[in-house]
Amino acid sequence: MSFFDFTVNNLEGRQQSLSPYKGKVVLVVNVASECGYTPQYAGLQKLQDAYRAKGLVVLGFPCNQFGGQEPGGALEIQACSAKFHASFAVFGKVEVKGAGQAPVYAFLTAKHPEPKWNFTKYLVGKDGQVLESFPSKVDPEGPELKAAIDKALAAAQ
Can you tell me the distance from the alpha carbon of 50 to that of 86, in angstroms, rounded to the nearest whole number? 13
* Residue 35 annotated in active site: yes
In 3D space, the residue among 87, 24, 13, 95 whose CA is nearest the CA of residue 53 turns out to be 24
Query: Distance between alpha carbon 133 and the CA centroid of its chain, in Å?
Result: 11
In 3D space, the residue among 86, 61, 73 whose CA is nearest the CA of residue 9 turns out to be 61
Instruction: Say which of 29, 35, 94, 124 is annotated catalytic.
Output: 35
Can you tell me the distance from the alpha carbon of 106 to that of 82, in angstroms, rounded to the nearest whole number? 29
Catalytic residues: 35
